[in-house]
Amino acid sequence: MSEDLIAKALAARGQAYAPYSQYQVGAAVRMADGRVGTGSNIENISFGASVCAERVALWTLIHAQGGRWTEMAVATEDGGTPCGECLAVMAEFVSDPEAVVWMVAEDGNRTKFTFKDLMPHAFQSRAPFTQGRTNL
Ligand code: THU
């Protein structure tokens, strides 16, 4: 089941636009309803305008149909973990703290984490949104 996601993350890495860092990242995300989407990092000459692969993948799915994610795979050169900003975005739309995140390195090495492993104390507002597309 996870193999399809890992293969899609590796393929998405090939679509990265990373001329400044030369660090290509691919991400694949599975939603609770079974949809799968992909993304890659897309950099900008104004470096702060660059966006990570995880957010491209997740936001594309959220834009299309809302929902919550259950599993994610991130492919990089060295099996790097998602950055803090991506974890905050992932926290917004995660289905469950036990949702699985695979880190996949170029040499084929895989590391499996739960979302909670990566972000054990995610910020939650005292007045969380109870309306919205993720709750449809
Ligand atoms: N990057 C991602 O796409 N995902 C991450 O989780 C970490 C970093 C990108 C941002 C930038 O384009 C490049 O990797 C180097 O930091």
Q: Structural domains in the chain?
A: 2-130 (3.40.140.10)
Q: What is the mean pLDDT of residues 1-11?
A: 95
Residue 60's pLDDT is 98
Q: What is the mean pLDDT of residues 7-26?
A: 98
Order of strands across the sheet with 100-104? 36-40, 26-31, 69-75, 100-104, 110-114
Q: Which atom of ligand 1 is nearest to the CA of 52?
A: 3
Q: In this model, does residue 131 exceed pLDDT 90?
A: no
Residue 120's pLDDT is 95
* pTM exceeds cut of 0.85: yes
Q: Probe ligand 1: pick from 20, 41, 102, 119, max atoms within 8 Å of CB? A: 41
**Model pLDDT for residues 47-89, shown as the tens digit of each residue:** 999 999 999 999 999 999 999 999 999 999 999 999 999 999 9
| Closest alpha carbon to 31 in 52, 12, 3, 58 | 58
Q: What is the mean pLDDT of residues 108-130?
A: 86
Q: In this model, does residue 136 exceed pLDDT 60?
A: no
Name the residue with the closest Cα to ligand 1, atom 14: 23
Name the residue with the closest Cα to ligand 1, atom 3: 52
Show the DSSP H helices in 1-136 as ranges.
Answer: 2-13, 53-65, 84-93, 115-118
Take residue 88 and report the two structure tokens written for it: 């905050």
Q: In this model, does residue 126 exceed pLDDT 80?
A: no
Under 8 Å between Cβ of 12 and 28? yes
Under 8 Å between Cβ of 24 and 31? no
Residue 91's pLDDT is 96
Q: How far is the CA of 126 from the centre of ligand 1 (A)?
A: 30
Name the residue with the closest Cα to ligand 1, atom 9: 52
Up-side HSE of residue 96: CA atoms within 13 Å toward CB? Answer: 10
Look up residue 116 and give its DSSP letter: H
**Which sign, positive or negative, has the C-alpha torsion 115, 116, 117, 123?**
positive
